[in-house]
Chain A
Amino acid sequence: SQQGEEDPQALSIQEGENATMNCSYKTSINNLQWYRQNSGRGLVHLILIRSNEREKHSGRLRVTLDTSKKSSSLLITASRAADTASYFCATAALAGGTSYGKLTFGQGTILTVHP
Chain B
Amino acid sequence: SAVISQKPSRDICQRGTSLTIQCQVDSQVTMMFWYRQQPGQSLTLIATANQGSEATYESGFVIDKFPISRPNLTFSTLTVSNMSPEDSSIYLCSVGGRDQPQHFGDGTRLSIL
The reply to whether chain A is a binding partner of chain B is yes
A-side residues, CB < 8 A to B, are: 2, 30-31, 33, 35, 40-45, 48, 50, 88, 90, 92, 95, 98, 100-108
Find chain A residues with CB under 8 A from B43 CB. Answer: 43, 88, 90, 103, 105
A42 contacts across to B, CB distance below 8 A = 6, 92, 104-107
28 A–B contacts, CB within 8 A, in A order: A2-B42, A2-B44, A30-B98, A33-B101, A35-B104, A40-B90, A41-B106, A42-B106, A42-B107, A43-B94, A45-B104, A50-B99, A90-B102, A92-B99, A95-B98, A98-B48, A100-B31, A100-B48, A100-B98, A101-B33, A101-B96, A102-B33, A102-B45, A103-B43, A103-B102, A105-B42, A107-B42, A108-B42
Q: Chain A interface secondary structure, helix, strand, loop or mixed?
A: strand
B56 in the interface, Cβ–Cβ < 8 Å? yes
Q: Are B107 and A45 in contact (CB under 8 A)?
A: no
Residues of B in contact with A, size category: 20 to 34
- In chain B between 70 and 103, which residues have their CB closer than 8 angstroms to a CB of chain A? 90, 92, 94, 96-103
Of chain A, the residue at the smallest CB distance from B50 is A100
| B8-43 interface code vs A (CB 8 A; 1 in, 0 out) | 000000000000000000000001010001000111
Kindly list chain A residues whose C-beta atoms are within 8 Å of the C-beta of B106.
41-42
Which residues in A have their C-beta under 8 angstroms from that of B45? 102-104
Closest chain B residue, CB of each to CB of A108: B42
Assembly CA distance A25 to B102 (angstroms):
18
Task: Give the interface centre of A92, A101, A102, A106 by most chain B CB atoms within 10 Å.
Answer: A101
Interchain nearest-CB distance for A6 vs B (Å): 9
| Alpha-carbon gap, A90 to B42, bound state (A) | 10
Q: Please, how many angstroms separate the alpha-carbon atoms of A88 and B103 in the complex?
A: 14
- A107 to B43, alpha carbons, bound, how many Å? 8
Contacts of A104 in B (CB 8 A): 45
Q: A102-B48, A103-B102 are in contact. List 5 more A-B contacts (CB 8 A).
A: A48-B100, A90-B102, A92-B98, A98-B56, A100-B98
**Cβ of B69 to closest chain A Cβ, rounded Å:** 19
